[in-house]
């Protein structure tokens, strides 16, 4: 099996795992200059692509993840399991409890 996955749609998280993709920072400055990719900082904001069904704890209670597909979330700078996709994109698997916050839409 190849170590590079074809697409994020083929990944189905198990238990309380959440598949996210980092939001890409702007590669262009306010004055219109383009920055090299290595100089663009990684943001802690991500979009949820897939969510596992949850798990049952030791007392028999069903623990359901607190995020859903499409949510914007804050993730830790480090951690998670990075998965490389065929088109050179990366997605990251986190446990639901590792996600720092869910971002609300400002209306």
Residue ranges of domains in the chain, CATH in brackets: 8-103 (2.30.33.40)
More confident call, 42 vs 90: 90
Name the average pLDDT for the chain: 82
Strand partners, 81: 93
The pTM (predicted TM-score) of the whole model is: 0.77
Q: Give tens-digit pLDDT for 63-76.
A: 999 999 999 999 99
Helix and strand numbers, DSSP H then E, in the chain = 0, 8
Angstrom distance (rounded) from CA 104 to CA 107: 9
């Amino acid at each position: 099996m190849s170590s590079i996955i074809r697409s994020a749609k083929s990944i189905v998280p198990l238990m309380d795992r959440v598949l996210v993709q980092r939001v890409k920072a702007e590669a262009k400055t306010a004055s219109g200059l383009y920055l090299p990719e290595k100089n663009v900082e990684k943001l802690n904001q991500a979009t949820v692509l897939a969510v596992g069904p949850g798990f049952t704890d030791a007392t028999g209670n069903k623990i359901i993840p607190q995020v859903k597909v499409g949510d914007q979330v804050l993730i830790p700078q480090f951690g998670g399991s990075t998965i490389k996709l065929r088109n050179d994109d990366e997605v990251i698997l986190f446990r639901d409890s590792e996600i720092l916050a869910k971002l609300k839409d400002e209306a």
